[in-house]
Structure 1
Amino acid sequence: MNRTRPFIRRPWLIVPLATLIYTLIVVSTQGSPLALVTLGTRFSDGDLQGETGTEGYDGQFVYYIARDPGDAERFLDVPAYRFQRILLPILGRVLAFGQNDLLPWSLLLVNLVALAAGTYTLEHLLEQYGTSRWYALGYGLSLPALGAARLSLPEPLAYALALGGVALAFEKRVLWSAVFFVLAAFAKETTLIMAAGIGLWLLWRRQWLQALLFALISLIPFGLWQIALAQRFGSVGVGSGGAMATPFEIIPFAGIFRIWFEGSFSVFLAFGLILLPFVVLPTVWGLARVARDFTLRRVGITTLLLLTTAGIMLFVPFSTYREPLGILRFIAGLQLAAILYAAQHRDRRILMYSTFWALTSLFVIVADIAAGVKAI
């Protein structure tokens, strides 16, 4: 028995187990496994232009594509944007063996395996830097991991693959790293922000050929997929969001201040309680560390990962910042970059701070409690 305890006491096992237990509770209290894909009647009825009905959430689009890729378009708000994230729906469809009733479970299974793999990879990287593997829980229990798996979203799969790409880059297996990143992009395109960090690292080291090969392998398949989407739907998938999305901003943090200018100061303050600790402070800290490293010419791979993942936060659209779940999902890359940077520099204070990201899952848990009470 004693031999099993070290195995059980691993974040990579705890995270998917906690997620599984939680999702089973959700299904039990809400009465159907379809609760995991958060269907909204607006989309399930195909009334995309209607103003009545419930919205649901983004997991429903994964479900509709997995259920019938050929007929999913009429259930999607922005078809090209949703179809570009094809990997999770395809894997879910394959594992469900064509049985639609199994789709919520097969999507969950993919994400549980991804949570285990992603958390294991992060553990491995932390231990390589000589820091505690338990800091991996700050990511594994956060909204882009546990919360996204509960909601049948692509983040667990996408960032597990991205972490694999980072780990391979650390080992200087750059071409395999590119393969992992192109798979990650087919799960969710925002992982290319992390891929950009790896590409910049290769350029910084003047590894011109490897940088070129990394870019070609990472981008060409995804680019061809965008062309295919444009031919089918009339537009590419890459964009700033689904329905009612606003463009990326030009002025740093304008997406946050527009909450005030286009809403009210009280709403701005309320959002600040979420954005300040989980988004703004990590972004400012990350960019300050990047500036210091460039000044001291101590630029490493984690510096450039931090540069791309923190830098993009300055220009994130208003439509993402105004939606708590959306912005807390978007920060997954910044979370991972911050954890890895802090581990490399043995910054225990930042590593401790990173564990507070686990609190972001409360936004999903509270919503589920409310839905469960309503169901009763």
Structure 2
Amino acid sequence: MQGEGGAPAARAAVMVMVAFGLMTWLLASSLGGPGYFLQLGERSEALPLVREHLGPDIPVWSPIGHDGERFWSLARDPLLLEGQPLADQLDRPAYRAQRIAYPLLAAPWRAGGETALLWGLVITNVLVIGAGTYLTGGLAQARGTRSRFVPYAFALNPLVWLSFLFDLSDALALAGLVAAMWAIHRRRSDLVAVSSVVACLAKETSLLGLLVAAGAARGLPWRQRLALVLPGALAAAGWRAYVLTRPGFHEGGSVREFRLVAFSGYLDVWGHGFPDATDWVYLAVTLSILAFSGYVVALWWRDRRDLLLCASVPYALLTPFLAPVVIDVPINSVRVIGPAVTLVAVYLASRRVSPSRREGLATVGESQQP
């Protein structure tokens, strides 16, 4: 971003990092330190090692825990050099290890000790959220939007909050996806390629959005279509091949996260009833995700070649096919649809650009014809 147009995005990025930094301090100081963000469970595979290195008073919040503990284990050994001992800390070693970008980015914090790494995971996510906010502002500016509020579409995304609170890689994956969209508008194939690699190594499902955008968006030169897909796909495939050579990192049993029949997973879950008094929240979240997914598909159907909608629609189309193992924990459904939230927000904001301001602002395809 250049000139005054980048100032709102830069201010938003700073404000977001300050706000998330303050929340980090408040949560850590009141809930048992930075170990809170690991969201450990009593049955966590890594719990004995965590207690060995960080003390027996590390907070434990649930019976089974969440994914943050796996990223902590990977950040201690991002090249998987320990082999079997590291694999024993992961419930699905090959699957967990393929999302290596976030733990690799946080790994240098361990040079300051185990506690520094614990803080580093959170601080890395705060910095990623700031960068994602700035990139979202840049993407909006490239599409003719000057609103000072659009950059916050990244930081206010529920997916980003979950990533921050649970030490997850989703914020980095979304930042990579947004960066790729921004680089397309800036006609920077080199940055498109780098962003593709970051997004796919942070979360493999990022490739879905990149693939559909490359195949369906209007008027992209072939170099940029290839840059959206090939670097990330090759990096993810190459890393996975390496992972499978490491002792203990075999395929093993897999969890069925998707069904072949749409909505069959929801019918199975809802068939059990809602006996718990708090299940109305669960139901509201689930129905909201389905409604938003339908809205994204409807937007895409009306404007099927827009870059951002093409990158969003795969995540919306996945939601009807989720299996009970995903639907049972509503935050997992949020993580599936989450990338579409920020991209659709930027699309809607850019759609409101006045005709007079649109003059000289060609679509992605029109501005990049060779």
| TM score, norm. by length of structure 2 | 0.78
Q: Per-residue displacement from partner, 1:214-248 (whole Å, max 9, x unpaired)?
A: 432221121111222223346459xxxxx983331
Question: By how many angstroms is 1:62 displaced?
Answer: 0.7
Aligned partners of 2:159 and 2:339 also within 8 Å: no
**In structure 1, how many angstroms separate the alpha carbons of the residues matched to 2:148 and 2:207?**
26
- Partner of residue 282 from structure 2, selected from 262, 271, 292: 271
* Aligned counterpart, 1:40: 41
Residue aligning to 1:306 = 312
Going from structure 1 to structure 2, the CA distance change for 1:254 and 1:90 (only over 3 Å counts) comes to: same
Shift in CA distance, 211/142, structure 1 to aligned 2, threshold 3 Å: closer
Shift, 1:303, TM fit: 2.9
**In the alignment, is the contact (CA less than 8 A) between 1:121 and 1:164 conserved in 2?**
yes
Deviation of 1:175 after TM superposition, in Å, equals 4.2
Deviation at 1:26, TM superposition (A): 1.4
User: Contact 2:136–2:153 (CA<8 Å) still a contact in 1?
Assistant: no
AA at the equivalent of 1:305:
A
Indicate the residue corresponding to 2:59 in structure 1: none
2:149 match: secondary structure: helix
Instruction: State how far apart, in whole Å, the 2-side matches of 1:171 and 1:8 are.
Output: 16
CA deviation string 1:314-368 (max 9, x = no partner): 32333222212212222221112211221221299xxxxxxxxxxxxxxxxxxxx
Pick the aligned partner of 1:292 from 302, 305, 317: 302
For each residue in 1:158-216, what CA deviation from the matched residue of structure 2 results, as whole angstroms up to 9, or x when unmatched? 211221111001223234312211112111212222212331245x5374454345432
Residue aligning to 2:64: 55
| Aligned counterparts, 1:36-185, within 5 A | 36-42=37-43, 43=45, 44-45=47-48, 54-68=63-77, 69=80, 70=82, 71-97=85-111, 99-128=113-142, 129-185=144-200
- CA change 1:235–1:253 in 2 (3 A) is farther
Question: AA paired with 1:300?
Answer: D
**Structure 1 pair 192/337, CA: closer, same or farther in 2 (3 Å)?**
same
The secondary structure found in structure 1 opposite 2:262 is coil
Provide structure 2 residue ranges, at least 5 long, that are not aligned to the other structure: 1-6, 50-61, 355-370
Distance 2:134 2:201 in 1: 21
C-alpha distance in 1, partners of 2:185/2:213?
9
Q: Which residue identity is paired with 1:33?
A: P
For residue 344 of structure 1, what is the aligned residue in structure 2?
350
Secondary structure in 1 aligned to 2:347? helix
**1:256/1:322 contact within 8 Å kept:** no
Of 267, 288, 313 in structure 2, the residue corresponding to residue 257 of structure 1 is 267
Q: How many residue pairs get matched?
A: 325
1:221 to 230, 235, 240: 235
What is the TM-score with the length of structure 1 in the denominator?
A: 0.77
C-alpha displacement at 1:292, in angstroms? 2.0
CA distance in 1, matches of 2:335, 2:265: 16
Q: Distance in 2 between matches of 1:12 and 1:337?
A: 17
CA distance in 2, matches of 1:255, 1:188: 23
Question: Structure 1 regions of 5+ residues with no counterpart?
Answer: 1-5, 47-52, 238-242, 349-376
RMSD: 2.8
1:137-157 per-residue CA deviation (whole Å, 9 max, x = no partner) reads 343033321331232111122
Whole-Å separation in 2 of the counterparts to 1:172 and 1:7: 22
Between the aligned partners of 2:8 and 2:215, the Cα distance in structure 1 is 37
Alignment of 1:9-24 (within 5 A): 10-24=11-25
Q: Contact (CA 8 Å) 1:185, 1:191: kept in 2 or not?
A: yes
**Distance 1:175-1:311 versus aligned 2 partners, 3 A rule:** farther
Structure with greater helix share of residues = 1
Change (3 A) 1:292 1:80: same
Q: Distance in 1 between matches of 2:100 and 2:107?
A: 11
Within 2, Cα distance between the matches of 1:8 and 1:307? 26
1:16 CA drift (Å): 2.0
What's the secondary structure of 1:77's corresponding residue?
A: coil
